[in-house]
Amino acid sequence: MPQQITYRSRFLEVVAGFVLGAVGGSVLGATENPVHRSLYAMTAPARIKPLIDEARTVGPLGLGSLIGATVLTTAMTSVVAGVIFSAVVASAFVVTRSCGAAGQTNTAALWVAAGLAGAFGTTLSGTTLGIAIEWIVNRYGMVGLLWALGLFTVVKVPFHFIFKMVQGQVCGLGADVWVKQREKLEKSDLEQRQRVAVQIEQQILTLENGGETGSPRERAKWAAEKLQREALERRKIETEEAELEQRSLQDWIVNVVTKHIDFLAFSGIPMTFVAVVSSLIGAHGYGGHQIVMPVLLALVAVIAFYLLKTNEFKFWMLIGCMGMFAAFVVALLTIHAEHTVVSDALKLHKMGLNQTRSKVETQMNYQASLEALTAGYFVAKVCQLGLGATVGGPLVRQGAGAARVIVGAAALGGVLLLGVEVLAPVLGEGGKAGAMLGAVAAAGASLGAAVALAGRWSSWFGAVATLAGLVLGALAVGEWHVVNIGLQLPVAYVFAMTNPF
């Protein structure tokens, strides 16, 4: 009999794990084609003409690092905005709702409200930043984008301290509710004790006057008082447990928001600094020289070394270093694309097919712009997916409910994809690309929750089934984009297993 139960439980784990993993993987696969179409629209020759024109100003090195830093900043900011929106809604919900008899209903409503707020905040922020970046590039070119990125990075630091002060005031909002609840219970307790004291005095007077006690009416009154006393004690215990639960949840929400505010304020500084340096180098005519790459790599390595060796290591430092290296890789790919054009031109020259210098330069600028935008957008998508996984994974480990997070985030991702397609004419290509990152973040949350679920099963069978469902779901729905999905899944796994809180 025990063996049958074990086999049955393992079978249920395998089935549930595979289904939930397939749901988490499917929403990732569903983002592949819409993201590809959005990127294809943005890289049309007419749309990247401003980049082609400005490639001469900052060079391929500055162009690549600037595009990389900009899209990564957009991805990071939109995720943090979603987390803050979600945390505000969750905090308001926790403060205004009790966790008493209707605790389960309230908890379900809490996660639904927080999830919707997070998706709305991420998508709205991504859309706004996408539209703003498109407008700046079209109006002021890459120099304007450089100024905007630098200003945005600087403004986030004082905003961080302002938010901390506001947060300190908001954290005490729920205390008044519990103080009033305790005062009400204490008042009821005092009134009940006074009634009992009056009844005891009446019985003593009755006995002193030679009367009799213990009539059916008095016994019924004592029984009613006993029931009221027991109910009052239960309410006290429930209130204390609810207050403890609420404070624990509120403290966790505050901790999450604090970490993400630090992340928003400081993580963009390293890659923005690298983008500024490489743009200045490019503006002075050295953006395409090979000798500049070791210098820039040394700069990146020094910054990363000093950040990672700090005694008080923080999550934003890790993400800041990763973002800086990602922007550097985009710059490398941009220079490589330009050098490929030069190499092809030399091969044609040896074959006797000469091209004019202006034509080669035009082709170089076009290819560099195309590669910068393509690589930058892919890096932003991977970043968004990973940051979404850092939300979904810890939620499951905190006991939010794996099925709830996986299915809920997947459903939100599907709704966002559909909404972006419907609103595409209104959003424009920049806004559509930014909004698409919101759907990718939701996919990342679902994916991260599925990965965290795989680690919580009681046997390897459930873990393997969950991961198998995740991979197969992503590949099948993603029309077997093996390379793209294969690059994204390990990133989602690493971020999902990281606990930034």
- Residue 60 is predicted with a pLDDT of 82
User: Has residue 388 got a pLDDT over 80?
Assistant: yes
Place of tokens 């289904």: 19
Helix then strand then coil, in percent of the chain rounded to 5, is 90, 0, 10
pLDDT band at 472 (very low <50, low <70, confident <90, very high): very high
The tens digit of pLDDT for each residue in 315-332 reads: 888 888 888 988 888 888
Distance, in Å, from the CA atom of 308 to the CA atom of 59, rounded to the nearest integer, reads 30
Query: Residue 213, CB half-sphere, CA atoms under 13 Å: how many?
Result: 14
- DSSP H helical ranges for 97-172: 103-170
Both tokens of 133, joined, read: 């970046």
The percent of residues above 90 in pLDDT, for the chain, comes to 4
- Residue 254 is predicted with a pLDDT of 76
The tens digit of pLDDT for each residue in 196-253 reads: 666 665 665 655 565 555 566 666 666 676 677 777 677 777 777 766 777 777 777 7
Query: Residue 226, CB half-sphere, CA atoms under 13 Å: how many?
Result: 6
- Residue 23 is predicted with a pLDDT of 92
The tens digit of pLDDT for each residue in 363-373 reads: 888 888 888 88
The tens digit of pLDDT for each residue in 238-268 reads: 777 766 777 777 777 777 778 888 888 888 8
- Residue 471 is predicted with a pLDDT of 92
Residue 118 or 285, more confident: 118
pLDDT band at 104 (very low <50, low <70, confident <90, very high): very low
**What's the gap between Cα 307 and its chain centre?**
23
- Residue 183 is predicted with a pLDDT of 65
Which residues contact residue 198 at a Cβ distance below 8 angstroms, ignoring those fewer than 6 apart? none
Maximum mean pLDDT: which of 49-63, 255-269, 280-294, 432-446:
432-446
User: Has residue 392 got a pLDDT over 80?
Assistant: yes
- Residue 98 is predicted with a pLDDT of 47
- Residue 267 is predicted with a pLDDT of 86
- Residue 47 is predicted with a pLDDT of 77
- Residue 394 is predicted with a pLDDT of 84
User: In terms of C-beta density within 10 A (0-12 exposed, 13-18 middle, 19 or more buried), how is residue 23 classed?
Assistant: buried
pLDDT band at 103 (very low <50, low <70, confident <90, very high): very low
- Residue 355 is predicted with a pLDDT of 73
Q: Which of 83, 39, 28 is nearest to 439 (CA)?
A: 28
User: C-alpha distances in angstroms, 196 versus 214, 225, 445?
Assistant: 15, 8, 57
- Residue 197 is predicted with a pLDDT of 64
Mean per-residue pLDDT of the chain: 79
- Residue 4 is predicted with a pLDDT of 42
- Residue 251 is predicted with a pLDDT of 75
Both tokens of 287, joined, read: 């953006």
- Residue 101 is predicted with a pLDDT of 40
What's the average model confidence in pLDDT over 125-140? Answer: 87
Please give the model's pTM, rounded to 2 decimal places: 0.80
